[in-house]
Amino acid sequence: MSKSRYEPLVKLKKKALDGAERSLISANNALSAASDNLNRAYEELARMALPNKGSVGAFAQAAAMIHVQHQSIEAAKVELNSAKQHQSLMREKFKAAMIDYEKFKYLEVHEMNEKLKRLKVQEAKFLDEIGTMTFKRETA
């Protein structure tokens, strides 16, 4: 059977869909990594404590480390939010690519079905013609 006129478009949309899927997977991985970074930052903060006794220098140093860890947590939160937004954007692009691909795939299948129907009608006419010719030959 001949190829559909939509076949090149379907291939192009499939490549776009595959690219969008890879981007979504990458965004999911980045989101997971950002979430892990935030969890590690919280765990590290939980392990830190201010000394109960000792020099003022040790107290100041511990306080500074805790402050730096809070800043690290805030940076991890920003990274996580950014990763969530990027993942959401990639999910929307993937959905749009999927819809685009499905539209053209539907058109291709529809066109192929129409061609198949036309071929079946032609075949039926051809078989009728052969039957008529055979019948005329037998009756003559």
As a whole number of angstroms, the distance between CA 15 and CA 19 comes to 6
pTM for the model stands at 0.76
**Cα(62)–Cα(69) distance, rounded to whole angstroms?**
10
Domain boundaries, the chain: 7-109
Inform me whether the pLDDT recorded for 128 exceeds 90: no
24 Cβ contact list (under 8 Å, min separation 6): 87, 90, 91, 93, 94
Q: How far is CA 23 from CA 11, 44, 76, 82, in A?
A: 18, 31, 22, 15
The span from the CA of 88 to the CA of 75, in Å, is: 20
**pLDDT score, position 4:** 81
> What is the overall mean pLDDT for the chain?
92
**Looking at residue 140, what is its pLDDT?**
64
Residue 130: predicted pLDDT? 87
Confidence of residue 1 (pLDDT cuts 50, 70, 90): low
Q: What is the pLDDT of residues 38-97, one digit of tens each?
A: 999 999 999 988 888 888 888 889 899 999 999 999 999 999 999 999 999 999 999 999
Residue 106: C-alpha distances to residues 11, 95, 101, 113, 133 (Å)? 13, 16, 9, 10, 40
- CA-to-CA distance for 67 and 127, rounded, in angstroms? 88
CB contact at 8 A, 69 and 41: yes
Top-level class of domain 7-109? mainly alpha
Write down the pLDDT at residue 2: 59
